[in-house]
Amino acid sequence: MQTAQFVVFVRMAFQDFTTKEGSLTLLHLKDRMRGALVNGLVNINISTIEKRYSLTSFHTGLISTGYDISFCALALFISYYGQKGHKPRWLAFAAFMLGLGSLVYSLPHFISGLYHYGSKITDTCVPSNGNSTTQGCTPSVAYKDSNFLYLFFLGQLLHGVGGTPLYTLGTAYLDDSVPNDKTSLYIGIGNSMSTLGPAIGFVLGGQMLDIYIDVNRVSNIDLTSDDPRRLGAWWIGFLLCWILSWSLIIPLSCFPKHLPGTEKIQHDKISQAHIYKGASIFAQGQFGENLKDLFKVLKGMLKNPVFLCLTAASCSEALVITGFVTFLPKFIENQFSQTASLAAILGGAALIPGAVIGQLASGIIMSKLKLLCRSMIKMAVATTVLSVLFSTVFTFGYCLNTPFAGVNQNYHYNNTKKFQLEALCNADCQCSHSSFNPVCDTKNVQYFSACYAGCINATRKGDLHVYEGCSCIPDDNPELSALKGKCGSTCSRMPLFLGVFLFCVIFTFMTSTSITTAVLRCVPDTQRSFSLGINWTFVRLLGGIPGPIFFGLVIDYSCILWNRDECNNQGACWIYDNPKMSYLMLAIGAPCKLFSVIAITAAYFLYKPPRAAETLSNGSNTERSTEDKDQNITVFNE
């Protein structure tokens, strides 16, 4: 009895909030939480997690796909079954699963022990004097920690369970409750506001990366902020999202099944569904309302050629978007020699404004010009072509590799054609290749460590950590000295790259919004929620899942220096070939964009509006459809 009274009290407390404005607010609070997790925190912490748990980019790309795998497994069922059920309660359950996924994702930090950054390793040259000190190898802690890959993957699976209802049921719930003259306004606001989620994730995650990873256990460390061995507290953001996600459960569960006025609003909706052979099946009485009709409805939807072409274009766009969003911070970090935290902020500075501008511009254009389905498809073709043109930034916006002795150039005293860390100048130094602690000489040449540079003395001059007596540094350096840390980048192309890439993002998201709206217009009104489920299932299966994996493999292929422990077990990558990375990323992105142009163009020529047949609409409805405004635009999830 007390439980029932508590539920009644809570519902009364939120009664004034159960309005269209309230639903918009709560739906996009949840979407921002999801965006902060999946499109923000997960992506910007990839580099840190790779180094901490000895993972490759292929592994982290696989982790990212966990969200899409669970989405694919559940989207059809949830979108079909949930469209007749209590949508707010589905969304409350989604908030619970989203928070649970965040908690699971943070667990590796608490059960993996302290991070060992190699402070006990002597990084100066200690001559062996001919005495061998070779011992049996002991696998590094980081290598053993790679088993936490499965826990990260489970967290992403749970994130996918929490995100699935939002795109299908959340969008449909809002669209069902909004009149035609307000749909574009509400959904347009939702599109732009939802991008705040990734923005929060990028900013929050970037700030957390400035905090030492074991801040909850260690009070003082002997590592500077620019030391490559220093890792940030990636896990704090996930704990915050866990708490905030669960705080939305009660408010979401208090919403009614339908907001006031929904029935009348639905009666006024006008269809622009594409006319094709087999479409008449949706006009049969109660067809499609029972769960047993799911596969029949699915078959009927897949016979719609316009829907299929637009879905194919969505898949190719999603493959590019998920790949770039996942690895853009890492690309900036390595191309322009930035720290992980700053790379995250810079990546967000290009992605977030681009997504906001693109989606708002697309929504405003379609609303103000009152574009019908065919015109929306034509607009998608134009914006895709423009995004292809701006994607060519990868052919000229990259930086050349920093000279690295033993990696991309020889040592001064080594004239062999094969690049390797060991040379005559450091042969007797007993250097460890499992701890990357770079130094830079006065000629801006980088070395793996002071030991591999042959340095025998280490001193401090003010704030500088200086190594002297370095036998591998050329004789024209009078002091044969080097400074601790990576060499600073001399490349000045970062502003050019970010500026051009911003326009690529803008037109990409303009395409995404117009395609999604056209998808909703070209299907029967009764199956709009299910059409979103089908569309997003294919998008995740053919775009979201392979995207991070393909881009991860490409980035791994461009690696020129892998981390290996004393047993020669491969870990994360230390150094990449910048031009190779840039060209390989373009080699994936450009063909996908061209495929999108072909698919959207095919949809344009195949589309037949309702007035071409009298089976689904009469003349008066056809005329009224010209005044119909944008029905739905899905929220940001790229």
Is the Cβ–Cβ distance between 514 and 359 less than 8 Å?
no
Q: Is the pLDDT of residue 386 over 90?
A: yes
Distance CA 293, CA 535 (A): 18
Q: Is the pLDDT of residue 573 over 80?
A: yes
pLDDT (tens digit per residue) in 81-91: 766 667 777 88
Distance CA 520, CA 541 (A): 20
pLDDT (tens digit per residue) in 259-275: 655 555 555 555 555 55
Taking the CA atoms of 513, 516, 522 and 526 in sequence, report the sign of the dihedral they define. Answer: negative
Which comes out higher in pLDDT, residue 44 or 375? Answer: 375
pLDDT (tens digit per residue) in 545-572: 888 888 888 888 899 888 776 666 777 7
Task: Look at residues 301, 565, 531, 530 and name the one whose alpha carbon lies nearest to residue 436.
Answer: 565
Q: Would you place residue 597 in the very low, low, confident or very high pLDDT band (cuts 50, 70, 90)? A: very high
Percent of the chain with pLDDT over 70: 71
Is the Cβ–Cβ distance between 539 and 314 less than 8 Å?
yes
- Within a 10 A sphere around the Cβ of 299, how many other Cβ atoms? 11
Reported as type and span, the H/E element at residue 375 is helix 373-390
Is the Cβ–Cβ distance between 277 and 553 less than 8 Å?
no
So what's the pLDDT on residue 10?
A: 43
pLDDT (tens digit per residue) in 204-223: 887 888 888 888 887 777 77
* DSSP assignment letter at 131: -
Is the Cβ–Cβ distance between 201 and 35 less than 8 Å?
yes
- The letter for the amino acid at 125 is C
pLDDT (tens digit per residue) in 124-179: 887 766 554 444 455 544 444 557 888 999 999 998 888 877 766 666 666 666 65
Q: Would you place residue 431 in the very low, low, confident or very high pLDDT band (cuts 50, 70, 90)? A: confident
pLDDT (tens digit per residue) in 462-483: 778 888 888 888 766 556 688 8
- Within a 10 A sphere around the Cβ of 12, how many other Cβ atoms? 10
pLDDT (tens digit per residue) in 499-532: 999 999 999 988 988 888 888 777 776 677 777 7
Output the average pLDDT for the chain.
75
pLDDT (tens digit per residue) in 26-62: 665 666 677 777 777 887 788 788 888 888 878 888 8
pTM flag (> 0.75):
no
* Separation in Å, CA 304 to CA 416, 495, 540: 63, 44, 20
- Within a 10 A sphere around the Cβ of 219, how many other Cβ atoms? 7
Task: Look at residues 67, 534, 63, 522 and name the one whose alpha carbon lies nearest to residue 314.
Answer: 534
* Residues linked to residue 482 through DSSP beta bridges, in sequence order: 441, 467
So what's the pLDDT on residue 420?
A: 82
So what's the pLDDT on residue 552?
A: 85
Residue indicated by tokens 């025998």: 456
| Averaged pLDDT for residues 218-230 | 72
Taking the CA atoms of 412, 413, 416 and 419 in sequence, report the sign of the dihedral they define. Answer: negative
Kindly report which listed range (117-121, 384-388, 397-401) carries the lowest average pLDDT score. 117-121
**3-class state of residue 475 by DSSP:** coil
So what's the pLDDT on residue 615?
A: 36
Q: Would you place residue 622 in the very low, low, confident or very high pLDDT band (cuts 50, 70, 90)? A: very low
The 3 state secondary structure assigned to 92-118 is HHHHHHHHHHHHHHHHHHHHCCCCCCC
Distance CA 47, CA 176 (A): 42
pLDDT (tens digit per residue) in 445-458: 899 988 888 888 88
Which comes out higher in pLDDT, residue 446 or 120? Answer: 446
So what's the pLDDT on residue 593?
A: 92
| Averaged pLDDT for residues 337-359 | 83
Report CA dihedral (486, 492, 494, 500) to the nearest 10 degrees: -160
pLDDT (tens digit per residue) in 60-107: 888 888 888 888 888 777 777 766 667 777 888 888 988 899 999 999
Q: Would you place residue 4 in the very low, low, confident or very high pLDDT band (cuts 50, 70, 90)? A: very low
